[in-house]
Amino acid sequence: MNMSRDDREIDFEAVRQTLVQYLDEENLDGFREVFMELHNYEQGEIYQTITDEQRNTLYNFLSPKEVSDFFDLLELEADEYEELLDKIDARYAANIIGAMQYDNAVDILNEISREKMTTYLPLMDKEDAGEIRSLMNYEEDTAGGIMTTEIVSINSQMTVREAMRYLKEVAPDSEMIYYLFVTDTKNHLAGIISLRELIVADDDEYIGDVMTERVVSVRVSDDQEEVAQIVRDYDFLAVPVVDFQDHLVGIITADDIMDVIHEEAGEDYSRLAGMSDNESTSDNAVETAKKRLPWLIGLTFMGMLTAWMLSFFEDTLARVVLLSAFIPVISGMAGNTGTQSLAVAIRGISTGEIKESSKLKLAGRELGSGFITGIVCGIVIFLIIIVMYREPVLGIIVSGSLIASMSVATIIGTVVPLLMNKMGIDPAIASGPFITTANDIISLLIYFALANIFMSSLL
């Protein structure tokens, strides 16, 4: 029987209320029977809706490992993790973190204070703490920072029979076993074999004879955006991570890449809007203002250039006051087209659609687009000015400025992020507000330059 989304929500709410009742009644058997049948995501959703008192009861009903299973899927802000862990017994909290997937555990420890981090690590199982410490040595936004060391690797000198026996032993503690990465005797990445290929291979064959030797891998120091691009291009479920000597040190799975894509998209959106990429909906008004002020102050100084330009052309405006009526139209259209081109360029860079050979083609396309749309908009506004003001010369100035400004704006919106990307700078920093303000300045220069040229005909 198929259930609609509304039906599922109603059913989930009924389950949630039942579990809350079991917690309030301290009914351990009833709670575990229902709760353990839920998906880990659903368990986490329920966990986030219950009270602190009910959570304390839940900790008594579940082992740290059982709690860690849904903690792996929680997506909380840094201060929320801090507040949450403060209310859990330190040893129990340490065991939860230690039982999580190591890459997720590192993410949490990086979010909380150093004092708490150094409290939890000694309380963990030594092996778990060692793995987590090793991952914390890598920079946060690199392949090493998002990989997991919970991998299954098999030796190329094993037989298929030996590999299958080994796989049964280690699979329960591994995050992903659909691909098996093969290493040589010195732990160098030597090849790859899928679980299907392993199952159908002859038991007495050596792994080195049936594996695929060509393996696409990433370095621990590679940027996470580059890794995401590789996983997307090759449609991988996982990609191996090697050090500078080609030793296999971990893997990055598709779910980790989804988190990266979500994170990078959020950062790009924030920067395009001229905001700090660490702004959160849980911030109060003061915190929000502090994060936005640096951007806004920078934009204020750029805006002062526009004001200075207007004062510089004060005589021109005084002689033909009607010119001022079209300033918002010129600057607004230039800003809009520039932002559109900026968005196209940044999206193309982030998805890998823009290659080195296609950059010139993209710039040419955007210039052509800006010129065509400028001509159409210019004709429309020329006709409006003729009908409303009966000033053909003014119509020529405004429409000509519009064509030139929109053409230039599309080039700026395209070329600036491409140049920044070439220099190794995040192109999203060329945010919409900055591009818009820059285009305001250029469009006004074009407008008043044309106005001065045709001044004698306007008077």
Last residue of a domain, one of 87, 112, 142: 142
Asked if 428 and 271 touch (Cβ cutoff 8 Å), the reply is: yes
For residues 436 and 384, membership in a common domain is answered with: yes
Dihedral in degrees, nearest 10, Cα atoms 356, 361, 366, 367: 120
Instruction: Flag whether 266 is in a domain.
Output: no
Last residue of a domain, one of 253, 276, 296: 253
For residues 222 and 313, membership in a common domain is answered with: no
For residues 448 and 301, membership in a common domain is answered with: yes
Asked if 159 and 177 touch (Cβ cutoff 8 Å), the reply is: no
For residues 446 and 299, membership in a common domain is answered with: yes
Instruction: Flag whether 148 is in a domain.
Output: no
Instruction: Flag whether 10 is in a domain.
Output: yes
For residues 174 and 138, membership in a common domain is answered with: no
Instruction: Flag whether 313 is in a domain.
Output: yes
CATH of the domain at 362: 1.10.357.20
Specify the DSSP element, H or E, that contains 400.
Answer: helix 392-422
Give me the count of residues in the chain.
459
Range of the domain at 21: 5-142
Sheet holding 179-183, edge to edge: 153-155, 179-183, 189-194
For residues 89 and 158, membership in a common domain is answered with: no
CA gap 165, 169 in Å, rounded: 7
Per-residue pLDDT of the chain in tens (459 residues, 90 and over written 9):
454 455 555 588 889 999 999 999 999 999 999 999 999 999 999 999 999 999 999 999 999 999 999 999 888 877 788 888 989 999 999 999 999 988 889 989 988 888 889 899 999 999 899 989 988 888 878 898 888 888 888 999 999 999 999 988 887 767 677 888 999 988 999 999 988 899 999 999 999 999 999 999 999 999 888 888 888 888 888 899 999 889 999 898 888 888 777 766 666 655 555 555 555 555 667 776 776 666 667 667 766 776 776 676 777 766 667 788 888 888 888 888 888 888 788 777 766 667 666 778 888 888 898 899 999 999 999 999 899 888 888 889 999 999 999 999 898 888 888 887 777 766 665 556 677 778 888 888 888 888 888 877 665
Asked if 109 and 120 touch (Cβ cutoff 8 Å), the reply is: yes
Strand segments, DSSP code E, in 255-323 are none
Last residue of a domain, one of 88, 111, 142: 142
For residues 335 and 371, membership in a common domain is answered with: yes
CATH of the domain at 95: 1.25.60.10
Q: Alpha helices of 235-282 — where are they, by DSSP H?
A: 254-272
For residues 326 and 445, membership in a common domain is answered with: yes
Instruction: Flag whether 196 is in a domain.
Output: yes
For residues 429 and 338, membership in a common domain is answered with: yes
CA gap 303, 430 in Å, rounded: 16
When divided into structural domains, the chain yields a total of 3
Instruction: Flag whether 147 is in a domain.
Output: no
For residues 137 and 246, membership in a common domain is answered with: no
Instruction: Flag whether 186 is in a domain.
Output: yes
For residues 138 and 39, membership in a common domain is answered with: yes
Instruction: Give one word for 426, left, alpha or beta, with left for phi > 0 and alpha for psi -120 to 50.
Output: beta
Q: Six-digit token pair at 459? A: 């008077």
**Token match 């300033």: residue?**
327
CATH of the domain at 166: 3.10.580.10
Q: Choose among 348, 404, 399, 356: nearest CA to 377.
A: 399
Q: Choose among 143, 85, 148, 152: nearest CA to 119.
A: 85
246 exposed, middle or buried (CB, 10 Å; 0-12, 13-18, 19+)? Answer: middle
Over the range 392-429, which residues count as b (16 or more CB within 10 Å of their CB) and which as e? ebbbbbbbbbbbbbbbbbbbbbbbbbbebbeeeebbbb
For residues 118 and 191, membership in a common domain is answered with: no
Instruction: Flag whether 116 is in a domain.
Output: yes
CA gap 108, 445 in Å, rounded: 51
The residue type at 214: R
CA gap 68, 256 in Å, rounded: 17
Collapsing DSSP states into helix, strand and coil, what is residue 248? Answer: strand
